[in-house]
Amino acid sequence: MKKLLKYVFFLSLIFGFHLISFSQRPVITKIKKFKPPVVKTFLGIRSNGDTVTIEEASQLIGLPLKIMDAKENIYKIDSYHFLYKKRGEIQDEETGRKNATYTTVADMFRATPLPQVWIDNLKGGLQKNEEIYFFDIIVKDEANRIFYALDLKIFIQ
């Protein structure tokens, strides 16, 4: 029995070394480092931090996002998040004073402009001191490389 165990052990040892010696080494391919271009985000002619009137915001909300570099190359948008900061008022029951409060509505989209349902709902309810915010904008270049574009926040006055 001991000879049989030694024989099995010896064969398994030889078989194990045989597998190790003929196994393939992983192939490591170096990828050239990608430096994304410097791009700006536009909604119509407006860029990040602009302040607009209610009427202009109603028009802008239906326009597509544009991502452009300094040479005015336009990049394809893969996805983005949109947030609407809506202003409301709450009346304090004890004092009767009205206080401003804000709620947010947000979602992720893969097409620009926003869906028609969103455009219709926003156009009818825009007020002063609200914000529309496009963020986490993912774009692709001509080689299908993915990178982030700058956020776009527009204030309504």
Q: Is the pLDDT of residue 56 over 80?
A: yes
Helix (H) or strand (E) holding 59: helix 54-60
Give this prediction's pTM: 0.74
pLDDT at residue 77 in the model: 94
Could you count the other beta carbons within 10 Å of the beta carbon of residue 9?
A: 10
pLDDT at residue 22 in the model: 62
In 3D space, the residue among 106, 104, 115 whose CA is nearest the CA of residue 135 turns out to be: 106
Pairing of strands 74-91, 65-69: antiparallel
Q: pLDDT tens digits, residue range 109-140? A: 999 899 999 999 998 889 999 999 999 999 99
In 3D space, the residue among 73, 70, 37 whose CA is nearest the CA of residue 145 turns out to be: 37
Q: pLDDT tens digits, residue range 35-44? A: 889 999 999 9
